[in-house]
Amino acid sequence: MQNPLEKAREYETLHKKDADPERPAFHLTPMVGWMNDPNGFSIYKDEYHLFYQYYPFDVHWGPTHWGHAKTKDFIKWEYLPCAIAPEHEYESNGCFSGSAIELEDGRQLLLYTGGSKGTDEKGRENQDLQQQCAAIGDGINFTKVENNPIIPVTDIPEGGNWLDFRDPKIYKEDGRYIVLLANRPDDGSGRVLMYESEDGLNWSYMGILDECHNEYGKIWECPDFFLLDGKWVLLGSPQEMVNDGLEFHPGYGTLTIIGQYNKGSLKFTREHLHAIDYGTDFYAPQTLETKDGRRIMIAWMMNWTNVSFQMPDIHYFSAMTLPRELHVRNGRLCQEPVKELEQYRINPVMVKDTSVKEETSFEQVKGRYLDLTVKVTPADTDEAKYEIFEMKIAKNDRFHTSILYDRKKGTITVDRTDSGVRFDIVHKREFYVADRDGCIDLRLIMDKDSMELFVNDGEQTHTGVIYTDLSAEDITFAADKEVKVDIESYTLEIDK
């Protein structure tokens, strides 16, 4: 019988040609088939590698493989052959999410979760167990280690279930490796466990970094943890979030916890807590630190709730977000597009200090491959303060997506109901933004069928897909009372 990895690689070779030619220009999509979480986002031999949850044979989830790509600048990606496939009993349900690191000896270590059938901690048979596995390679080919699973379910501390133990995120600290893992304790919620290792293969349990006690969702999938701008930041993707005002929506959410961390006692003290992204399509982010010390995050530009709503006749499904540089400012995790994107800007259009009230468009400020910055300033007189500023994007006579700033409420609402979408899913998200005396800064990145909005220097972001007619490319601006706008617009052109 053909080995599963060879089968996946052969399938890639045969089918990547018919995988839709009209891809996004600079967002990574799977070579063919299905993609979910980013995995193993890391530097290997001076290049940035990204693996991803991957099922090449269909546009729906199946026992996951790891797809693989690399980049020098986060914008142009080069596909590499499928990295790992489920081939052993301990990973028969799939090679789930994980991370990667370059070992001291120059080899590349992949840590992932192997899902398989077994007897759980309560003695129930035929359960879906999750255990941590390793594969070692040279940047292209990987060999699973002999003693997988290297962190078996029996290494889960007292009270943890064996069915939810996943998504190892490795990092190096003070000369040894640490791995974070999501696990579900007795109360049915989630906690983040830490293990340590000298060599990346032999691990011992350290303790609990944080636990959710059924608050902020249940299990926090795909945890990540790093020091940034003097604070420690814990990222997680909680399942089964309960709605909390405009901060957290129900279902699959995202969570940033900013705080202090004492390495000796493993005590993480929370200081600030908020969603990572307020959009409809953002999940399971992962970060790396670049050689020049920047913390870059990439996420799956999708959400489990929306995955069954697919366009007909597709050969690939979903994409990653644009990689974003992170900073902690005033208790918030702020995001901006990687600066490398700027090299790909052409056709600059500047509109300076111009009044807008009625719905207005500006020559050449349009498109679906776009980097657009709009700064709005009130032109207030005593009797006339503006309350609403609205941009319509991806617009034609019939369709548009709306970005609406409500100054009185202090919110932005993004609404794709009128984008031409044919599925009755969540199309609208509203979130709070800072009150800057009526001034608001919006940066919008568009790449064919996606929009990523960065508000007020990335204090809030909204990520969403808009499966709408590509000819809908107009942009208009309007306000209920006169405002001044400064617009900087570029087409993004990426030669492949």
Read off the amino acid at residue 419.
S
Q: How far is the CB of 54 from ligand FRU (least distance, A)?
A: 9
Between 36 and 335, CB nearer to ligand FRU: 36
Please say whether the beta carbons of 74 and 445 come within 8 A: no
Between 133 and 394, CB nearer to ligand FRU: 133
Q: How far is the CB of 90 from ligand FRU (least distance, A)?
A: 15
CA distance 262 to 200: 23
Between 181 and 374, CB nearer to ligand FRU: 181
Q: How far is the CB of 167 from ligand FRU (least distance, A)?
A: 5
Between 234 and 475, CB nearer to ligand FRU: 234
Q: How far is the CB of 66 from ligand FRU (least distance, A)?
A: 10
DSSP-assigned states of every residue in 296-341: EEEEESS-GGGTT---TT-SEE--BPPPEEEEEETTEEEEEE-GGG
Please say whether the beta carbons of 249 and 239 come within 8 A: no
Please say whether the beta carbons of 372 and 487 come within 8 A: yes
Between 64 and 280, CB nearer to ligand FRU: 64
Between 248 and 344, CB nearer to ligand FRU: 248
Place of tokens 């814990």: 234
CA distance 300 to 221: 13
The DSSP call for residue 11 is: H
Q: How far is the CB of 222 from ligand FRU (least distance, A)?
A: 6
Between 211 and 480, CB nearer to ligand FRU: 211
CA distance 182 to 449: 32
CA distance 445 to 428: 18
CA distance 341 to 492: 8
133 alpha carbon, distance to own chain's centre: 23
Q: How far is the CB of 67 from ligand FRU (least distance, A)?
A: 12
The DSSP bridge partners found for residue 49 are 42, 70
Q: How far is CA 158 from CA 42, 127, 203, 446, in A?
A: 32, 19, 17, 47
Please say whether the beta carbons of 480 and 387 come within 8 A: yes
Between 310 and 373, CB nearer to ligand FRU: 310
Q: How far is the CB of 408 from ligand FRU (least distance, A)?
A: 37
The DSSP bridge partners found for residue 98 are 112
CA distance 318 to 323: 15
CA distance 475 to 456: 20
Q: How far is the CB of 348 from ligand FRU (least distance, A)?
A: 38
Between 237 and 419, CB nearer to ligand FRU: 237
Q: How far is the CB of 51 from ligand FRU (least distance, A)?
A: 12
DSSP-assigned states of every residue in 442-478: EEEEEESSEEEEEETTTTEEEEEE----TT--EEEEE
Nearest to 101 by CA among 31, 182, 44: 44
Q: How many CA atoms lie within 13 A of 429 on its CB side?
A: 25
Between 128 and 406, CB nearer to ligand FRU: 128
Q: How far is the CB of 56 from ligand FRU (least distance, A)?
A: 14
Between 91 and 221, CB nearer to ligand FRU: 221
Q: How far is the CB of 34 from ligand FRU (least distance, A)?
A: 9
Q: How far is CA 335 from CA 99, 155, 177, 332, in A?
A: 22, 36, 27, 10
CA distance 91 to 240: 26
Please say whether the beta carbons of 288 and 42 come within 8 A: yes
Between 281 and 390, CB nearer to ligand FRU: 281
Query: 3-state DSSP call for residue 91?
Result: helix
Q: How far is the CB of 163 from ligand FRU (least distance, A)?
A: 12
Between 216 and 283, CB nearer to ligand FRU: 283
Q: How far is the CB of 213 from ligand FRU (least distance, A)?
A: 20
Give the footprint of ligand FRU on this chain (CB under 6 A): 36-37, 53, 64, 96-97, 113, 166-167, 221-222, 283-284
Q: Could you tell me the two tokens for 192?
A: 């983040």
| Phi, psi of 7, rounded to the nearest 5 degrees | -60, -45
